[in-house]
Structures are given as structure tokens and as C-alpha cells.
Chain A
Amino acid sequence: MAPRVRAASTQQELPFGVRVRRGKQRLSRDLKPILFVGGILLGGLLLYVWQHVHVVRLSYQLEQLRAARITLIQEGKALGVELGRLRSVRRVEEMARRKLGMVNPVPGQVILLEEPR
């Protein structure tokens, strides 16, 4: 059976069954594990960098959410202040007297009933 020789890029057959391998081919085979290990290391490095970038990105999002939360809390408080002002007994009484012409009830006009149980 005729020997089969692998060329750098194609297979090559030589007489007397001698297999010939060019330098590039051997180098390629020797580099494989190095490339494999290097690839893993590089992948690990990229993963390490990615997770840092991801944490930073999440931190930005977190800060945005925090800011939005603070804004909403402040808006809620501001609305609470406005509500307190609008519901002020003095203001309500003044409106009742001036706009609606209401007066204080005289004794006997208010009859309280027990709440049915």
C-alpha cells in the first residue's frame, strides 16, 4: 500500500512509504494544546472582564432606579404637603362658610346615632 503523506495543506504521497511532514504542519500540531489552553485562559479573562462590565452596567441601572425612587418619594411627599394644605380645617371651614354659606349647627341640629352592629 502506498504511503500517504500529508502536505501542509493537502495530502502528498512519496516513494518507499516515507512519510514526510513539513515544519508548519508539526508546529500546528504542537500549538494545538497551547492554543487550547490559551483559548481557555482568554475566555476566562473575557468572562472576568465581562462580569465587571456587567456589574458596572447594573450599578448604573441601580443608581437610575434609586434616583427614580427618590424622585417618586419626593413627589409623594410634595403631594402629601399639598393634600395637607388643601384639607386644612381652616381652609375647609372658610370655603364652607364663604362659598357654600354654611353655619355652625346649633345644639339639637346634630343628632348622633349608634352605628348598627
Chain B
Amino acid sequence: MIPQVEKPPLVRVVIPALGLAVFLGVVGARLYFIQIVQHHDLGTRAETQYERRIPVSSRRGTIYDRRGRALAISLDVASVYAHPGLVHDPIITASRLSKVLNLSARKIQAKLRSGRPFVWIQRKVDPARAEAVAKLALPGVGLVPEGKRYYPKRNLAAHVIGFAGLDDQGLEGVELACEHLLAGGGRSFRGRVDALGRVVFREAEETRAGSDLYLTIDEVIQHVAERELDAAIQRSGAKSGTVIVADPATGEILALANVPSYDLNRYGSYSPAFRRNRALTDPYEPGSAFKLILAAAALEEGMVKPEDLFHGEDGVIEVAGVKIRDHEKYGRMTFRDVVAFSSNVGAVKVGMKVGKDLFYNYITSFGFGLPTGVDLPGESPGLIRRPGDWSKVSIGALSIGHEISATPMQLIGAVMAVANGGHLMQPHVVRAVHYPDGRMEAIKPLPVRRVISPRTAHTLASMLTEVVQRGTGQAAALPDILVAGKTGTAQKLDQNTGRYSRTKVVASFIGFVPAESPRVAILVLIDEPQRFTWGGTVAAPAFGEIAREVLSYLETLNGPGQVAQRPDEAPTTIN
């Protein structure tokens, strides 16, 4: 018997095959419909569900002093926001948030009912509160990191550094002036998140870090300037004051202090009067300190020599019917004496010799009437009228530093020019920029123009040392170090009467040390002192203290006898 070979029945092959084919056909058709026909719509929906723009930490640049000590730094803190459309119950949400954030529930509720797609509940909260909000896990409420600016030195150099606001945007000082350098480009990246909101893939990050800035300010010198200014103001009961310490060779501002000042970490608690950088925004009549410019013009033009004699007219001179007086009666005196004892009569006579056009040229050449160009915001150009607008008394008034208003920054610029041999330097506070790509760009000193010859500068410096040795500025003298400077005491214009006040004055002292090879130029200005109302009695002592400590500090820094060493050559700790 031949055994039968078993064949698979047709139905057992064909039917499953057909079934499979139909199934695959349906799947294929569905796939086609989803992948091809609905590709665009579904792709867009998926992207909106999974793709997010995720905020990242702030990258605002750090601000350092000249030796690499951080003055302003950004840290991440959380801000609480809400998408009102996603909030389930505004009343409960507001109530719970108000307890954690210590805010009014009504105000939060108003925000949640505002109908806007996004609202801030509270910006830049402290870490404990942020954690508490996160634990609440309220629908529609979230936390986002934002950069908060911290100023570890608080008041130090407040008017130079300035501050950045809630949106991490510079609002004052270097923070504002260098916003384009400090601010980062973007602060988010695109990424894909899972159902729990965790980042799975991140695409190209769009953040661009800000650059770090190294200022010309030195923390130690700045502290000395602030401390001595505070002391001078307390001693004299003055309204306000300014100190500027600068390097005459480079125009670098080593310290800039104003009183009143403020804590940069709590800038919102202070009125604008505290935050104003008076060294730049408040021009004043410099008084006798301006005789420096007159002397420079007279010496440079060869119209007067240091030993030329003038008569003191017993302390009074009349110019176009206006009497200009000296604080003491002088007889015959040399031009050196005129400067040393700050004789108004002698200065008026010198001014008349120079003449208004020439004097005006020197005034503007020294930078008065125009902003110095310092890299800080809000600088006033001061005020100097053109010779055509001068009255007959103007030449006399200008010779003693009236009928002109100048900022402390303009005056320190003029003093630096005398100290460095005749070059007007552009003052600046940014020493170097450290770009995110690692490049370090040093800001080079910028000479504006030569205003007097080295010979005139040298002669004038020697005359200014006599101010301190035997004249009105003896309180600024230092043992074993020659100081050059000029006192100034200018009556202020009384806004009510339109006349010069007898009680309100601006007392100042400007100069440089050591006189033979100047390392620092210093300006001390005390506004409305109630006691010790002369520049020589209130500003000169502060000048002397600052000069002594600064020179001692520089010598310690640079080594014995190396006071005059440039900071660029000194060892630095820039990170």
C-alpha cells in the first residue's frame, strides 16, 4: 500500500495569507494616511507637545576690580510664573501661593484672572520659597531660573559699578554703559521633553555668554577714598562730597567715591539723589582750583613768568564796577605767590594779561565745556560761555573760577594733564574686556591732545608744590614726599537771591603725588561744609591722608621704592 503524502489544504494557506494581506493592507493604508496625508498636522502637534523652549541660567558677565576681585556677579535664582489658562482653580492656587510667597492672595488672584497667557507671580525669590512653590506642584504654576546680580562689596564703588534691574539689564554705571558687553545674547534653548517635562534631547543652544569686565578701580584705593571722604564729611558737617583718584599717565580712574552713596544690593531702597554719580552729573564752579588753568595758559603763552611781580592792591580789585576781594590783604607778590596763596587780585591781573580769547581757548583745550568721554553714563559737559557772550566782569570772574561750571571728572582730567607733562588723557574705568571666547582685550590709554608743553607742565608743577609747602594747601603735605596741588573754595550761587551765598561753599583740593614723578592725581571736593569751610582746611587734609595711604599701598604692591611703577607692570591676580 502506497502511503498518501499529506498535502496542506488550500484553505489553510490561502485564508490566513489573505487575512494577513488584508491586515497589512489596512495597516499600510493607515500608515500612509498618518505618515503622508496627515504628516504636517500631526508633526506640528507633536512638536508643540514635545518641543519646548527651555530657559537656562543667566550669563551676564562678571565685573572685577583691576586685581581680579569680583565686584558684580550673577547667580541663578528662581522666579515664579503662571499660565492662567492652565490654572484649575485660581482661588485655591492664589491662596496657597500667597502663604508660601507672603504675597496678597487677592493680587495673585487678579493676576490669575487677567486673561493673559503668561504672568509673573514673583520674580527672583529666595531658594527656600522657590522650593516650597515647587513642592506645591500647582497646575499652571512654574519656576524659571533668572540671573540675579549680587554685589559682594555692597557700597564699594557703587557709582562706578551701577546696578542691573529685574530684567538683568544695566540701569546705572558700568552696568549700563557696558550693557552691550556684559549682557548675554539669548537665555534659552530648544529641546524635546517627555510627558513629565524632563528634557530628553536638546537642540542647538542659543545662549551667548556676556563678557567679563576688569575695571581700573582698585578695591583698596577705592576703600581708602571712601573712608577718607566719609571722615571729611563727618568732620565738616558737609552735605555731600566726591573723591577721584586717577593715574595721570593713563587716565585710569583708580577710585571714584561719592557721598551720599548706597548699597548696590538694595538700590531700590534709595532715592535717585543717593544714586547720582555727582562726579559726572553735578557741575560746580571750581573757584580757585581753576587758577591752575589760568596759570597754565599764562605760562604756556609766555605772558607771565613765575617770578613776575604783581601788586595785591590791599586785597581788592574792581572789574567793570564789581569788586573782587582776597581773603587776606597782599602787597607785592610774585606769580608763584599768587598761586601759592591763591590771590584773587593777582589772578584777575593775570587773567587780564592773557585775554579772553586766549583764556577761552585754553579752557576748552583742557576739556571744559565738553564731556570727557569717560565710559560712564550721564556725564554733564559743564558750562562755559563763548567769549562773545562774556560780560566785562567775566574775565575777572573766570580767572578765579567763577562763571564756569565744571564736573569733578573734568577737573581731574586737567590735573592729570599737568601731572603727565601736558597730555589731556581720556579718563576711563574699564581696563580690560574678557570675551567669552577667551580673548582678553586691554583698553589702551587714549591721549586726547597736548594742552601744554612739558616745560610749562614742569614749571606749573613746581609752583603747585609751593601751594603745599608754604601756601594755602599745607594740610595736604606728606613727610618726605613732595605734593603738588591747588586749593579751591567757591561760593555757591544762591538760587533764591541769585547772588553768591556767604555761607554755602564748595571746598576742594586737586593735585598729584609725588610731584617729581606723579603716580596718582587726586581730587577731593566737599560740598557745603558747615565747619572748616576752606579747601585748605577740609579738603586738603583728606587729600593728604588718601595720598599717604595710596602711595604706601602702591609701594607695598610694587616693592621698595617702586611707587611710580605702572600698574600694568605690577603683578596682578586676574583669573
Contact = CB atoms under 8 A, between A and B. Distances in A.
- Residues of A contacting B: mostly: helix
B121 to A, nearest CB: 22
B479 A115 contact: no
A81 B70 contact: yes
Interface in A64-108: 70, 73-74, 77-78, 80-85, 87-90, 93, 104, 107
A114 to B, nearest CB: 6
Contact of A90 (B6, B156, B201, B560): B156
A89 B153 CA distance: 9
B2 interface: yes
Given A89-B223, A90-B156, A63 B75 contact: no
B7 interface: yes
A98 to B, nearest CB: 14
Contacts of B57: 70, 73-74
A77 B75 contact: yes
A70 B76 contact: yes
B326 interface: no
A74 B5 contact: no
Given A23-B7, A112-B556, A88 B153 contact: yes
B447 interface: no
Interface centre among B150, B154, B156 (most CB of A within 10 A): B150
Contacts of B556: 110, 112
Contacts of B73: 77, 80-81, 84
B203 interface: no
A34 B500 CA distance: 110
Given A23-B8, A63-B199, A81 B559 contact: no
Interface in A25-63: 27, 56, 59-60, 63
Interface string A1-45: 000000000000010001011110001000000000000000000
B223 A93 contact: yes
A88 B549 CA distance: 17
A80 B70 CA distance: 8
A96 B201 CA distance: 54
A93 B223 CA distance: 10
A112 B156 contact: no
A73 to B, nearest CB: 8
Interface in B1-27: 2-3, 5-8
Contacts of B549: 104
Contacts of B198: 60, 63
A4 B189 CA distance: 74
B220 interface: yes
Contacts of A21: 5-6
Given A84-B153, A85-B154, 19 more contacts: A20-B5, A63-B202, A74-B75, A77-B74, A81-B70, A81-B150, A82-B152, A83-B152, A88-B153, A88-B154, A88-B156, A90-B153, A107-B480, A107-B548, A110-B552, A112-B556, A112-B560, A113-B560, A114-B559
